[in-house]
A = this chain, B = another copy of it.
Amino acid sequence: MTQTIERETTTQGPQERVDQWLAEFEAALAARDVEAAAGLFAVDSYWRDLVSFTWNITTVEGRDGVADLLRAQLEQADPRGFATTEPPTEADGVTEAWIEFRTATGTAKGHLRLKDEGAWTLLTSLRELTGFEESQGTSRPQGVSHELSKGRTSWKEEREAEEADLGYGTQPYVVVIGGGQGGIALGARLRQLGVPTLVLDKHDRPGDQWRSRYKSLCLHDPVWYDHLPYLPFPANWPVFAPKDKVGDWLEMYTRVMEVPYWSRSTVRSATFDEAAGVWSVTVDRDGESVELRPTQLVFATGMSGKANVPTFEGQDVFVGEQQHSSQHPGPEAYAGKKVVVIGSNNSAFDICGALWENDADVTMVQRSSTHIVKSASLMEHGLGDLYSERALAAGVTTDKADMIFASLPYRIMHEFQIPAYEKMAEVDAEFYERLEAAGFDHDWGDDGSGLFMKYLRRGSGYYIDVGAAELVADGKVKLAHGQVARLTEHSVVLEDGTELEADLVVYATGYGSMNGWVADLIDQATADRVGKVWGLGSDTTKDPGPWEGEQRNMWKPTQVPQLWFHGGNLHQSRHYSLYLALQLKARYEEIPTPVYRLQEVHHLG
CB under 8 Å from chain B, chain A span 127-169? 134-138, 140-152, 154-157, 159
CA–CA, A142 and B148, complex, Å: 51
Quote the shortest CB–CB distance from A86 to chain B (angstroms).
17
The answer to whether B357 touches A134, judged by C-beta atoms less than 8 angstroms apart, is no
A interface with B by C-beta (< 8 Å)? 134-138, 140-152, 154-157, 159, 192, 215-216, 218-219, 223, 230-231, 234-242, 244-245, 248-249, 251-252, 255-257, 353, 356-359, 374-376, 389, 392, 465-468, 470-471
Quote the shortest CB–CB distance from A14 to chain B (angstroms).
26
Q: Could you list 13 further interchain pairs (A-B, Cβ under 8 angstroms) beyond the known A142-B240, A144-B466, A150-B358?
A: A136-B235, A138-B389, A140-B223, A140-B237, A148-B357, A149-B357, A150-B359, A154-B215, A156-B215, A230-B235, A236-B257, A248-B256, A252-B255
The interface centre, meaning the residue of A155, A257, A467 with most chain B CB atoms within 10 A of its CB, is A155
The answer to whether B236 touches A140, judged by C-beta atoms less than 8 angstroms apart, is yes
13 contacts between A and B (CB under 8 A): A137-B389, A140-B223, A140-B235, A140-B236, A141-B239, A142-B238, A142-B239, A143-B241, A143-B242, A144-B240, A149-B357, A230-B236, A236-B257
The answer to whether B353 touches A135, judged by C-beta atoms less than 8 angstroms apart, is no
The answer to whether A152 touches B357, judged by C-beta atoms less than 8 angstroms apart, is yes
Closest 6 CB pairs of A and B: A143-B238, A155-B242, A252-B252, A144-B218, A136-B235, A148-B467
The answer to whether A134 touches B236, judged by C-beta atoms less than 8 angstroms apart, is yes
CA–CA, A257 and B234, complex, Å: 9
| 8 Å CB contact of A148 from B147, B159, B248, B356 | B356
The answer to whether B215 touches A136, judged by C-beta atoms less than 8 angstroms apart, is no
Q: Which B residues are CB-close (under 8 A) to A235?
A: 136-137, 140, 230
Name the residue on B nearest A150 (C-beta): B357
Q: Which B residues are CB-close (under 8 A) to A155?
A: 218, 242, 244-245
The answer to whether B140 touches A239, judged by C-beta atoms less than 8 angstroms apart, is yes
Quote the shortest CB–CB distance from A387 to chain B (angstroms).
13
CA–CA, A148 and B473, complex, Å: 13
| 8 Å CB contact of A236 from B136, B150, B219, B389 | B136
Name the residue on B nearest A219 (C-beta): B143
Known: A230-B235, A235-B230, A255-B248. A216 touches B140 (CB 8 A): no
Q: Which B residues are CB-close (under 8 A) to A134?
A: 236
The answer to whether B154 touches A216, judged by C-beta atoms less than 8 angstroms apart, is yes
CA–CA, A238 and B258, complex, Å: 13
